[in-house]
């Protein structure tokens, strides 16, 4: 494992990954997989954070920011479509 990562197995189906930069991932694998992302408070408003989980600036209204334009969409489908790993993947539709 990289030196900036600490892995702890809490129970058979629970795994915690601690990164030295203050990011923690909790993985729970039982029937359906759940991943919880936790960030240290000192990362609030850190300009280097952005992405699928927002940018951790305590402003939930700007979490659906489109990467290419910087504009904010109000539909999860539009936001999710920009994160496709393959252009051959069909766009999600608004439900």
The pLDDT tens digits of the residues spanning 66-87 come to 878 889 998 889 888 888 889 8
Q: Judge if 61 and 39 occupy the same domain.
A: no
Domain around 33? 1-43
Q: Judge if 11 and 38 occupy the same domain.
A: yes
pLDDT band at 1 (very low <50, low <70, confident <90, very high): low
Query: How far from 89 is each of 41, 51, 81, CA to CA, in Å?
Result: 36, 19, 9
Residue 48 covered by a domain: no
Query: Would you state the structure tokens that stand for residue 15, as one six-digit string?
Result: 């795994």
Q: What is the pTM of this model?
A: 0.58
Q: Judge if 36 and 4 occupy the same domain.
A: yes
Q: Judge if 28 and 64 occupy the same domain.
A: no
Q: For the chain, how many residues are written?
A: 95
Q: Judge if 95 and 64 occupy the same domain.
A: yes
Element (H, E) at 81: helix 76-81
Q: Judge if 31 and 58 occupy the same domain.
A: no
Question: Which pLDDT does position 42 carry in this prediction?
Answer: 86
The count of structural domains within the chain is 2
């Amino acid at each position: 494992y990289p030196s900036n990562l600490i892995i702890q197995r809490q129970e058979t189906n629970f795994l915690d990954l601690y990164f030295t930069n203050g990011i923690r991932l909790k993985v729970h694998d039982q029937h359906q997989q759940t991943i919880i992302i936790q960030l240290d408070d000192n990362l609030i408003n850190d300009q280097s954070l952005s992405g699928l989980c927002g940018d951790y600036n305590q402003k939930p209204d700007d979490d659906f920011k489109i990467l290419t334009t910087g504009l904010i969409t109000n539909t999860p489908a539009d936001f999710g479509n920009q994160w496709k790993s393959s252009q051959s993947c069909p766009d999600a539709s608004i439900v």
